[in-house]
Structure 1
Amino acid sequence: MPALLASMIALAGANGASARQENAAPPAACSSDPAPMPPQLTPTTIATIGQAYYCVFKNYVGGDQVNHRRLLASAFAGLTEELHRRQLDRTGATMPALSGNRDRDWVAFRAAYQQVIGQLPADPTLHQALAAATMRGMIESLRDNHAMWTRQEGPPPHYAIGLDLAPRAEMASWVPNEVTGPLFIRRILGGAAEQAGLLPGDIITSVNDAAPFVNGKPTPGVLDWLRNPSKEPVKLGLTRPVTGRSWTATLTPGRYEQNPDVIRNVTARRAAGDLAHVTVGAFVPQTANDIFRAVADLKQSGPINGIVLDLRRNMGGSGEEARRLLSAFVHHKTSSYKCDYNYNNCVPETTDDQVELLRLRLAVLTSRDCVSACDSFSGSVRDLGLGPIIGTRTGGFVSGLSYNYTLNDGTTLTLPRSMGLSANREIINGIGVAPDHYIPFTAEDLSAGRDPAIDKAATLLHL
């Protein structure tokens, strides 16, 4: 300890006043300007963590009310948990005493973090893993499902085994307490899954000999083998409900040509003669216009008297696109509210009355995989009485309108700037939107080629 203290004093003397000034200065501000191309990733450092720390206070909807001590304590907990997981814990890895001053406490945290990192092997992979665990710990302490840190690296999304799953593997990571089994194949996207002869509705009973769900809860780490594939083969245990067959298949991840008909965001087909069954994967830009065109195309071959809007695998996206779609069914209505952190001051969001009304009856199909803007859209449909909701409760993953901020390592920090209420001023975040008619999307129905939810929608729209 004396030697360490002496070296620290010498270092401080060498750097002098400039070092003290640097220690007092906060990190560079996070950028809210979207880059035209994804920035190149660099190592996540303590400067990056500090940038995120100050970004929360400046841009998060509840930033002025965030307890900075909780942020720092949760960040340090993330660091020590990763050290423990790697069997690299250090006796000196102790959270510093905090004074209550946001800036001074950051300086103390930074010094403690750097001291721990300095005692470890100079392994860039290790340092990155520890920084990522620290960052995740800090952001997760907000307990907000739209506050997240993303470092997109590794193989692109089409480097995989070619499966679209229900429930979505990402949901098991985001909201594990709200995801239940069984895990089954929703769609075959191509690649190894197609080559192995897998089919929609096949139930995945094991992944590398581990059960994906135990007592109805997702098994930590197991679904990551499917969500973030490496180059290693993945062994699946499978059951096909329609035949009762059980078998195993080993699939090797790889690049494959994706079927454009399968991955298209908006698809439309005729159902029950005069209905448009429109499936929407996400509310990305131009989604509303794509839906309007798809319905118009169907009308070329005969009358369309209603729309079955299938949102059972909708990942959310742009609230503006969801509002434009809603506006095709009703005008002069409040669709939702944007509020402050405690829902005390709220501003109404109204329909876009420049959107032409479709003048068609509507039924909406939902599931727990319908999240974010999909939650909000479904809530507005229910509150405004625009049509029946059929399926299961939506995901309730809709804290508020979020924006992305770029950090100095090229990663993205996503933070809500407002909290959301539905049209009737109720909170649906963490709760979801209950269906009017409960008809779950099951592996058994999919395997047998049935869709009772669409059948129910057709019955209701023809009444």
Structure 2
Amino acid sequence: QGKGSGTTGAPATRVDVEGLADRIIPFPVDAGRYSDLRAWSDGVLWLRHPISGTLGTSAGTPGGNRPGTTVERYDLTRLKAGTLASDVREFEVTGDGKRVLLRAPAGLRSVPADSSNLGEDDEQSLGLDLERVRLTVDPAAEWRQMFDETGRLMRDHFWRADMNGVDWDAVLAEYRPLVERVATHDDLVDLLWEVHGELGTSHAYVTPPAAPVPASRRQGLLGADLTRDADGTWRVERVLPSETSDPQARSPLAAPGVAVRAGDAILAVDGVPVDPTTGPGPLLSGTADRAVELTIAPADGSPRRHAVVVPLDSEEQLRYHDWVAGRRAAVRELSDGRLGYLHVPDMVSNGWAQLHRDLRTEMGREGLIVDVRENRGGHTSQLVIEKLARRIIGWDLIRHQEPLSYPENAPRGPIVAISDEHAGSDGDMVTAAIKTLGLGPVVGTRTWGGVIGIDMRYDLVDGTAITQPRYAIWLKGYDWSVENHGVEPDVEVPIAPHEYAAGRDPQLETAVRMALEELERNPAAVPPELPPL
């Protein structure tokens, strides 16, 4: 403001762009994972995320607590860093910059921005009791708004501004009268699916918010295959083998001190006899992550005993690792130990970690079977291809150690890939890349055919997630044709129902045969002999 104007206002700020990069001063904090940089009255705040791996989880046990996120602070007046609060999911700063609203597992609370790890009982820490909040919602009006919001978001973010030739306004106008007939949220979700379907594009999802499952309804699972004898006795046919690096892949029956083995009978759960018809399943309802007592009759005829176990709420990881181990054992047997086997379940951090569980040992074999069947997609296919495309150009010979290829973890010999109709998104793309780059033949069936990706950034007002296909891919040799068609294998090998029921895997068998045939034509790379004296 000019002199003598009698008015005040915000001071003008001028940014001198020249030499700006040279005047940047980093905050004196260690390297780490940071996000959500915000200003408060005397400095800045940010979230510090724990650094943890993806092999298994960062928790030590299935029910263990993972490291939490911390709100850290830098005071520009005192030139000092500090911790505001620990185990916080997100935060917001008040308009005056004096206080911070924290969202923690225990709920919302407000603390002074210059405080440090205040306890919930501290008078400066103000808890917000949301139980007293009452909100009146008109479902019909909310559903109308959600329908319109879905249409707008798709219009603004679909990968083609011309909506792939679809008259989007006309589509919305055609379906809008049905909103008035919607009677439940499920009806609305079905309707939005139909609207998205008019675009004929993959990854256009509508996902209602998941309701938490009460503990009383969580089914407990024992991590084992059970069978019923003719007399109604339920026995353990097989205890699923544990994967020690994954806390979610440990069978309760294999825990230390439990020692339940194949052939043992389960007679009772918490003292209640097992029904000869329904088995122990109903008695394990609501027991996930809770200790229960099993009455066991050992197969060797020794006296009955009692074992305390903690059932799982999911056997997915246990059974996945068991399936991979079974495929690998089959490859070893069929190839007489010459071929390695790698399965990549998805193209996110979990699949990238799974690839590296066995990468070194499997790459050391003469040839390699790469299995991307049922790959759930993601965004790491480029990294996977980079590993598979490596070529050995040298060897490191080290005394008292095995020779190492240069580059390391490179295939020594032929690669044969297996894919199927359940490999989609980035699973489509990795299959196409293997073929285009000539890394090896693909065996199996045509892939899913959905390669226009999403980023999951928008939810509707009630938490329903909706996606907008935004990231289209053009691939050499395929142009735009992978979407809605998939990638054809070089050798088509379907698995017939009778083969699946018998436990046969003709796709794997074919891949092994082709890899062995290629090995006969082109032997695997081997380290050289030492040079002569």
Give how far 1:293 is off: 3.3
Q: 1:57/1:423 Cα in 2 relative to 1: closer, same or farther (>3 Å)? A: same
Q: In the alignment, does 2:495 pair up with 1:429?
A: no
Matches within 5 A, 1:229-248: none
Aligned position for 1:382: 435
8 Å CA contact 2:340–2:368 kept in 1: the answer is: yes
Count of residue correspondences: 281
After superposition, what is the alpha-carbon deviation per residue over 1:269-304, rounded to whole angstroms, capped at 9, x for unaligned? 3522122222232222252343133122457xxx41
AA paired with 2:494? P
The answer to whether the 8 A contact 2:342-2:362 is kept is: no
2:229 matched to 1:131?
no
**Residue 313 (structure 1) shift:** 1.9
Query: 1:306: how far off?
Result: 2.3
Alpha-carbon displacement from aligned partner over 1:150-170 (angstroms, at most 9, x marks no partner): 1143576x99999xxxxxxxx
Partner of 1:95: none
Deviation at 1:414, TM superposition (A): 1.4
1:261 aligns with 2:318: yes
Q: How does 1:330-409 map to 2 (within 5 A)?
A: 330=389, 357-398=410-451, 400-404=452-456, 405-409=458-462
Aligned equivalent of 2:343: 279
Distance of 1:401 and 1:265 partners within structure 2: 31
Q: Match for 1:459 among 506, 513, 529? A: 513
TM-aligned CA distance change 1:149 to 1:288, over 3 Å: same
Residue 449 in structure 1 maps to residue 531 in structure 2: no
Separation in 2, partners of 1:377, 1:367: 12
Preserved contact between residue 275 and residue 308 of structure 1 (Cα < 8 Å): yes
In our comparison, the structure showing a higher alpha carbon Rg is 2
Q: Which residue of 1 aligns with 2:114?
A: none
Q: Which residue of 2 aligns with 1:141?
A: 198
Question: Aligned with 2:467: secondary structure?
Answer: strand
Structure 1: state its 5+ residue gaps: 1-34, 80-112, 118-125, 163-188, 198-247, 333-353
Q: Pick 1 or 2: higher relative contact order, CA cutoff 8 A, min separation 6.
A: 1
The change in CA–CA distance for 1:132 and 1:287 in structure 2 (over 3 A counts) is closer
Residues 61 and 418 of structure 1 are in contact (CA less than 8 Å); yes or no, is this contact kept in structure 2?
A: yes
Distance 1:192 1:325, change over 3 A: closer
SS at match of 1:61: coil
Where 2:200 maps in the other structure, the secondary structure is coil
Residues 312 and 370, structure 1, Cα contact 8 Å, conserved in 2: yes
User: Sequence identity of aligned pairs in percent?
Assistant: 20
Contact 2:443 2:493 in 1 (8 A): yes
Asked whether 1:60 is paired with 2:154, we answer: no
Q: What secondary structure does 1:390 align onto? A: strand
CA shift for structure 1 position 58: 1.7
Q: Note the aligned Cα RMSD (angstroms).
A: 4.2
Letter in 1 for 2:496: T
1:362-421 CA distance string (max 9 Å, x none): 2111221121111111111112211111111112233x1212122221121112213223
Q: Which protein is richer in helix relative to its size?
A: 1
Partner of 1:72: 172
C-alpha distance in structure 1 between counterparts of 2:221 and 2:448, whole Å? 27
**Alignment partner, residue 336 of structure 1:** none
Counterpart of 2:152, as a letter, is: Y
Letter in 2 for 1:293: R
Letter in 2 for 1:430: N
SS at match of 1:402: coil
- SS in structure 1 at match of 2:358: helix
Give yes or no for contact 1:266–1:280 (8 Å, CA) kept in 2: no
Aligned to 2:384: 325
SS of corresponding position for 2:359:
helix
Distance 1:446 1:68, change over 3 A: closer
Q: 2:516 & 2:500 partners in 1: Cα distance?
A: 24
More divergent stretch after superposition (61-70 vs 372-381): 61-70
The equivalent of 1:313 in structure 2 is: 374
**Residue 61 of structure 1: how far off its partner (Å):** 0.8
In 2, Cα distance between the equivalents of 1:418 and 1:141?
18
Matched residue of 1:328: which SS?
helix
User: How many Å apart are 1:67 and its aligned residue?
Assistant: 2.4
CA gap of 1:370–1:249, structure 2 versus 1, over 3 A, is: farther
Contact 2:359–2:409 at 8 Å: present in 1 too?
no
Q: Is the 8 A contact 2:362 2:368 kept in 1?
A: no
Contact 1:78 1:137 (8 Å CA) reproduced:
no
